[in-house]
Structure 1
Amino acid sequence: MRQLLYISTAAPGAGIDIGEILAISMRNNRREGVTGLLWTDAHRFLQVLEGPEEAVQGVLGRIKIDARHRGIVVLQDRTIAVREFGAWEMARRGPGDTADAFDGRMRQYLAGASPSVRGTFEGLIAARRAA
């Protein structure tokens, strides 16, 4: 099984509809057996994908040609024996969420992740909180 971690930035004027991305991604990922975690603030996307080699590569291929993304950087690409994320999730801070509540949810999502994956997400979250 393959696990891939990438970061990207929303293209200027891309008109990101997080609800639409969530609905389409959940449907596609479920069909292809891909799980993981996507953190977004609608400007940056940090996502870990895991599943069959071909399926993960297919998802990344679609992301690379999606005009809403730019600056896609693969941070980690490795083989794993078992999934670290049992179900695909979309993590984003809603309008009524406090920073502490959102960070608590993220810690729950990341509880079973490898130290490198967890550290990457926690680093971005800390940077966003400091900004």
Structure 2
Amino acid sequence: MLQLVYVSSLSPQADFDPTAILATSRANNRRDGITGLLYSDKARFLQALEGPEAEVEAAFARIKGDARHRAIVLLSRRTVDTREFGDWEMAHRMPGTDADRFIERVRELTANADPNVRATFEGFVKVRDGA
């Protein structure tokens, strides 16, 4: 099974609608047998995708072609024996919510991930949330 982790920036002209992004992602990923984690903060995306190699590569190609993304950087490409992120999740902190609780939620979602991948998500969330 293939696992990809990438980071990207939201294009300045793009509308950020986490509800629509989550709905589309869940439908596509369920269809393709892909799971993972998407963290967004209205400016950047950090995502892990896991599943059959061809489907993960196709999903990543769609993401690279999506006008909402720019400056896409592939951080990790690895073969994994089992899913490290379980069911699809999207972490998104709403304004006014507790930053510490949000960071704890990301830790829960990445608990089974490779230590380097987990550190990438935890570090990214802390920096982006100013923790």
Q: Which bracket does the TM-score occupy, shorter chain normalised?
A: over 0.9
Q: Which residues of structure 2 form unaligned runs of 5+?
A: none
Deviations 1:48-96 (A, max 9, x none): 0000000100110000000010000000001111110110000010234
* SS of residue paired to 1:87: coil
* Corresponding residue number in structure 1 for 2:77: 77
* Corresponding residue number in structure 1 for 2:16: 16
**What CA distance in whole angstroms lies between the structure 1 residues aligned with 2:9 and 2:74?**
12
Moved over 2 A (4+): none
* SS of residue paired to 1:15: coil
* Residue 114 of structure 2 corresponds to residue 126 of structure 1: no
**What CA distance in whole angstroms lies between the structure 2 residues aligned with 1:14 and 1:94?**
19
* Corresponding residue number in structure 1 for 2:4: 4
What is the root-mean-square deviation in Å for CA atoms of aligned residues?
1.1
Q: Which residues of structure 1 form unaligned runs of 5+?
A: none
* Corresponding residue number in structure 2 for 1:115: 115
Do 2:41 and 2:128's aligned partners in 1 also have CA atoms closer than 8 Å?
A: no
* Corresponding residue number in structure 1 for 2:68: 68
* Corresponding residue number in structure 2 for 1:44: 44
Deviations 1:110-129 (A, max 9, x none): 11110111010111112123
Give aligned pairs, total: 131
Identity %: 55
Offset of 1:18 from its aligned partner?
1.0
Counterpart of 1:38, as a letter, is: L
Counterpart of 1:16, as a letter, is: F
